Chains A and B, each alone.
Chain A
């Protein structure tokens, strides 16, 4: 069965510092990987997906199949980036039956 692991439950950085949220997965097939974000008092929303290979709000994530990782990075964190971040995996069929990681609460301090 597939599994997604986010080793850090809490991550705190200062404004302007680089930030990396780690995500590792286990799945024998070809997964699709996502990062979802949940800002305070808001619903879960898609941040980015690996097949898009785009940067959203300054965040990027590269799928490393050798290391089975999909870490989320941003070179200069902003206070408005403070939120809960979830890494998620879907099997070959895009968008369906997501398996979520435990989530990382990111706090960007002024």
Chain B
């Protein structure tokens, strides 16, 4: 299966600052990546679908101006949490879709804590 990495694995920031999280597909080219958020003891909630070379598709209720997604290459998608607040503290997980019809391969996640 595909290998997906995320950086950083955890980050602590002050309220009002912006944080960038990277998602890399290490061994294949991913035209589509997904960003999820997981609050403690809750399920994964899809935030947006990141498409290489085009705008991301956001799920209902997700603020696109707050969660900026850039998918500039076939191996890298970034999620920037702008003007972070304590309620944005969560576990952010990315995944990539392999060849069409394949399953998703998940990154290890990034723990964001906003003070």
Chain A contact residues, CB within 8 Å of chain B: 34, 43-46, 49, 86, 94-103
Identify which of A44, A96, A100, A101 contacts B97 (C-beta below 8 A): A96
Binds A, one of B21-29, B43-51, B79-87: B43-51
B residues less than 8 Å from A98 (CB atoms): 34, 44, 46, 104
Closest-by-CB residue of B relative to A36 is B106
Q: Are A43 and B46 in contact (CB under 8 A)?
A: no
- Classify the secondary structure of A's interface with B: loop
What is B's interface to A at a CB cutoff of 8 Å? 1, 32, 34, 42-46, 49, 93, 95, 97-98, 100-104, 106-109
B109, A95: Cβ atoms under 8 Å?
no
Do A96 and B43 touch (CB < 8 A)? no
- Which single member of A34, A86, A97, A103 contacts B103 (CB below 8 Å)? A34
Inter-subunit contact B106/A44 (CB<8 Å): yes
CA distance A45 to B4 in the complex (A): 11
Smallest distance from the beta carbon of A8 to chain B beta carbons, Å?
13
Instruction: Determine which of A95, A101, A102 lies in contact with B101 in the assembled complex, contact meaning CB atoms within 8 Å.
Output: A95
Q: Is the CB of A95 within 8 A of B103?
A: yes
